[in-house]
Amino acid sequence: MIVDRMRGVFACAIGLTMALGAAGSVASAQSQAALIVQNDRGGLIGARAREISDLNARDIQVQLRGRICYSSCTMYLGAEQVCVDPETIFGFHGPSQRGRALPPDRFEHWSAVMAGHYNAPLRDWFLSEARHRISGYYRISGASLIALGYQACSGNPDG
């Protein structure tokens, strides 16, 4: 009777160990996942910043592909693992509230949040020039961003 119980406990322990091992494999597989961003016209700066922080915490690669990546989509350039398709066009402009200028203190705050997601050369240009454009976009090719130091995506959308 005691031996049967011990076998049962042992079997449960093995099952639990195997389940935990499998869960570790799933977590490992999730860390290799990629978010493929295509044709994104932007959105709210704060929400995008939180999303990028979450992607970085989960070690998820961000691939910027498709025809366009405009406005807050460009903040994905701040992902720890990001690559850029050379053919994608990136559209930059300053923070606004639905196309209307923000009060100076909010403009400065949100400009800094956006700029914090760019590497040094892009950040400098954004802060000196692009953020002052509220309507329309400064358009930059992915190839130009790669020349500024961003990694090019491989030809395979999964790589």
Q: What is the pLDDT of residue 86?
A: 98
DSSP 8-state symbol, 62: E
**How high is the pLDDT of residue 155?**
74
pTM for the structure as a whole? 0.77
Give the 3-state secondary structure percentages of the chain, helix then strand then coil, rounded to 5: 50, 20, 30
Where is average pLDDT lowest: 14-28, 110-124, 132-146?
14-28
For 17-44, write each residue's pLDDT tens digit.
333 333 332 333 344 589 999 999 999 9
Supply the pLDDT for residue 98. 83
The owner of tokens 């160990």 is 17
Pairing, β 61-70 against β 89-92:
parallel
Residue among 104, 91, 103 at smallest CA distance from 133: 91
Query: Cβ of 127: how many Cβ atoms within 10 Å?
Result: 16
**What pLDDT shows up at residue 21?**
34
Taking only the tens place, the pLDDT of each residue in 58-104 is 999 999 999 999 999 999 999 999 999 999 999 999 999 988 889 99
